[in-house]
Amino acid sequence: MNTMLAGFVKAPFGFEMREVPIPDVRDDWALVKVDACGICGTDMHYANHLATEWQGFGHEVAGVVMSVGAGITHVKEGDRVVLESGSYCGTCEQCRNGRSDLCPRGKNFWQNPTMGFAEYILAPRECLVPYSGLTPEVACLTEPIGVAVDMVRVADIALGDEVLMFGLGPIGLMAIPLARMRGAARVYAANRSGGRRAQVAAAFGADEVILTRDNPLTPGHFRKGGVDRALVSASVEAIGQAMPLMRYGGILSFIGIQYGDGARISFDANDFHFKKLQLRASHAAPALYFPQVLDLLRDGHVDGNQLISHVMPLAKLPEAMALVRDHREEVLKVVITP
């Protein structure tokens, strides 16, 4: 009863499932029993590159509060919560100037010995967001949908915009209904290959799904000779491919992590200048908008169940990671349940 199963990762692509002590509750921290934790592209980067030592991982968490430290009053034992993967402090210069989205000092659980791929997780007060009315599997999508919300906000989509969503991983798929709600007149969804991702893109409101492997993107493909907004959740090369598709005054929002020598962005500087384009990075740290996302899920504006392709037990975490790595076309969100 005093130990729990927890997953550990070490690059390149090593995993261990260990029995470790259940963490002790501290003043401003709560012990949360994990009900569901999604696998994310970031987990892949830890497995492939970032985890130079064995470490815990998993940051898309829905669970139940088991016990709270003395400093926590907004949730109590038995409450269902989703966890911000990083919060904001409320006291730094950026927070006090109304820019909590730029807070560099928010609490998080990334330094814990174990994280969301475990039976229990210790989470700081600021990260605990109560929820109800959703299954844990769907609720754990709150964190990645917040990432998609940030990408769509950064792109400043306005009423009547023609929008290209480039890259149909889970984040790209989540962004499609959000772009529609922001007022996009037409949403083009582009992905290298088809399969399940293309199907969900259409179900989520994409007007057209373009498979770039057979159909390289050219301005002539678009009814207005290009798009007003591009959302890129793909490799960095995709930015260079999307730039020539932008209409006058277009904004391109990019989210993606790529390490190594390939991580250089290049595009035509004259085109960029004369077309008055903007390239903006989206990075949802701190993780904001959780209450809004929970409402979007509950109201069915984003159909969480369609995003989940696999639910697997914690003991099968290594197999689940391999599944995500090896079957990109058929895998959407893989959710781990202890």
Give the footprint of Zn ion on this chain (CB under 5 A). Answer: 40, 42, 88-89, 92, 95, 103, 105
Place of tokens 């991580």: 263
Backbone angles phi, psi at 224, to 5 degrees: -110, 20
When the beta carbons of 66 and 92 are compared against Zn ion, the nearer one is 92
When the beta carbons of 40 and 122 are compared against Zn ion, the nearer one is 40
**Cα–Cα distance, 237 to 235 (Å, whole number):** 5
Shortest distance, position 58 Cβ to Zn ion, whole Å? 9
**Structure tokens belonging to residue 113:** 């010995």
3-state secondary structure of 322: helix
How much of the chain is in helix, strand and coil states, percent to nearest 5?
30, 30, 40
Query: How many CB atoms neighbour CB 274 within 10 A?
Result: 10
Shortest distance, position 124 Cβ to Zn ion, whole Å? 13
Shortest distance, position 94 Cβ to Zn ion, whole Å? 5
**Cα–Cα distance, 230 to 222 (Å, whole number):** 12
**Structure tokens belonging to residue 289:** 């908008």
Shortest distance, position 116 Cβ to Zn ion, whole Å? 10
When the beta carbons of 84 and 161 are compared against Zn ion, the nearer one is 84
When the beta carbons of 11 and 25 are compared against Zn ion, the nearer one is 11
When the beta carbons of 95 and 173 are compared against Zn ion, the nearer one is 95
Pick the closest to residue 4 from 310, 315, 312, 336 (CA basis). 315
Shortest distance, position 278 Cβ to Zn ion, whole Å? 25
